[in-house]
Amino acid sequence: MRYVAFLGAALLFLATGAQAQGGSGTTLLVGSPMPAFALPASPEPAPQGVYGVRQNYNWQAYGGFTHFTFYELPGVTGQLNGFNMSVAYYPHGGHWAGEGEFFTAFAPQNGVSTHMVSVLGGGKYRLDAGRGLEVWAHGMIGGAHFSPETPFGGQEALAFDLGAGVDLNFRRSHLAVRGQVDWVPTLFFGTHQYNVKESVGLVYRF
């Protein structure tokens, strides 16, 4: 009887231990951390003012040297040198801008100093060509003044400007180098002139 009682007690002890181990295993399984799979973060929208891979500014101010070929009359061509300045504003740093330009140029002609002044305004469109290059085209209309007065007609005339250029932007800088060529029709002396303006200079972006 003692043997049977001892055997029963041992079986009861083993059964109790097995239940305890089973409960302990369940607790560890529930409490153990499960591997988490992180969802890829949605790409954030690019901040305003970024054009391509560089900082893009709304304003551009330009100043440079200008060579102006003035086809004054048949057989009379003036080669004038001077400077031009322009300001362009790109709303929200986009592709389109409003632009205004002033240029003046001088040259001696038959012993007399000639002088051309023009003020124009219009629109401009640009594209990022990569490698720090920005290409653009513009069209403007305005007025021109030529002096001295000649026997061929008045000193003021309507003027147009259709041109294109390229800006080389310096990295991490507000400055850029610009080269441009423009076709500049004018209506002096009761006729028309198809002139050419070439310019090179510096752009300040802000």
Dump pLDDT digits (tens) for 63-109.
999 999 999 988 889 999 999 999 999 999 999 999 999 999 999 87
Does the structure show a pLDDT above 70 at 22? Answer: no
Name the region of 132 (left: φ>0; alpha: ψ -120 to 50; beta: rest). left
Per DSSP, the residues of 9-30 read HHHHHHHHHHHHHHHHHHHHHH
Average pLDDT over residues 133-154: 93
| Residues 118-139, mean pLDDT to the nearest whole number | 96
Instruction: Write the pLDDT tens digit of every residue in 166-199.
Output: 999 998 899 999 999 999 999 999 899 999 999 9
Does 113 or 111 have the greater pLDDT score? 113
Q: What mean pLDDT do residues 149-164 have? A: 92
For 57, residues 6+ apart whose C-beta sits below 8 A from its C-beta are 49, 90, 93, 174, 205, 206
Residue 26's pLDDT is: 39
Region 111-117: mean pLDDT is 91
Q: Is the pLDDT of residue 16 over 70?
A: no
Give the model's pLDDT for residue 25. 43
